[in-house]
Amino acid sequence: MAKARIRNRVRELREARGLTQAELAARSGCTRQTIIMLEKEKYVPSLSLAFAVAAVLGDRVEEVFQPEGSSG
């Protein structure tokens, strides 16, 4: 598959907003575990979660998540 590795700035953005993992998880409707895994790039989230997280972080999906080799 074209499962390009996807980088994300969740942690960076989360801390910039002064949110804890638990806070972000609660607001984006997932568990803390999921946020941890996301920050550690253990896997690629679903588009749903990506939208939810991006919304909480106040950025667009394209800003928070970027396929490997995307212009910033």
- What residues make contact with its own copies under the rule CB under 8 A? 1-4, 6, 28-30, 44-52, 55, 60-62, 65, 67
52 φψ region: left (φ > 0), alpha (ψ -120 to 50), beta (else):
alpha
65 φψ region: left (φ > 0), alpha (ψ -120 to 50), beta (else):
beta
CB 22, min distance to DNA, A: 6
Helix (H) or strand (E) holding 8: strand 6-8
Between 17 and 46, how does the x/- string for binding to DNA read (CB under 7 A)? ---xxx------xxxxxx-xxxxx-xxxxx
- The site for DNA (CB under 7 A) is made up of 1, 3, 15, 20-22, 29-34, 36-40, 42-46, 48-49
